[in-house]
Every structure is written in C-alpha cells, then in structure tokens.
Amino acid sequence: MRQVTLNIQDSKFGFFMDLISNLDFVKIESDDASPTKEEILQNIKTGLREVEMIERGEMKATTLKEFLDEI
C-alpha cells in the first residue's frame, strides 16, 4: 500500500473528500490535527466560560509557569 499527502484548498476540501470517499480502493484516515469549525467555536466558548468563572472566583486560574510546566 502507498500513501499520498495532498494539500487541498479549504474551499475545495469538502468536494474532494466526497469524491474520494466513493472510491472503494481508498482508505481515508481522519486528520485529528485539523479541528472543524464547530470544534473551534466550542473551544472558544469553553474558554470564555472559564474566564468568567475565574473572574467570579469559581475557578482557580493557572499561572503561566504552571501552564508551561505542563507542556
């Protein structure tokens, strides 16, 4: 089996995926590195909720040092 990496314009990506998903000899692996628009929006909403909770004192803020230590 061979593997090909392609760079597709965002505007053509949906069309391309529809096209190749109909080919029985092509195996499509999910690309977890590229979040969907819905996932990005949900992450932003979650972050804003957390900021509000920190401001109200309902959640403890993480210091930059603690954040960097996790990485």
- Which tens digit of pLDDT belongs to each residue from 46-63? 999 999 999 999 999 989
pLDDT at residue 3 in the model: 85
User: Which pTM was predicted?
Assistant: 0.48
58 vs 38 pLDDT, higher one: 58
Mean pLDDT of 23-49: 85
Written in H, E and C, the secondary structure of the chain is: CCCCCCCCCHHHHHHHHHHHHCCCCCCCCCCCCCCCHHHHHHHHHHHHHHHHHHHCCCCCCCCHHHHHHHC
pLDDT at residue 31 in the model: 62
Instruction: Write 40-46 long-range contacts (CB < 8 A, 24+).
Output: none
Please choose, from the candidates 68, 70, 69, 51, the residue with its C-alpha nearest in 3D space to the C-alpha of residue 60.
51
* Mean of the per-residue pLDDT values of the chain: 88
Give the pLDDT band (50/70/90) at residue 67: confident
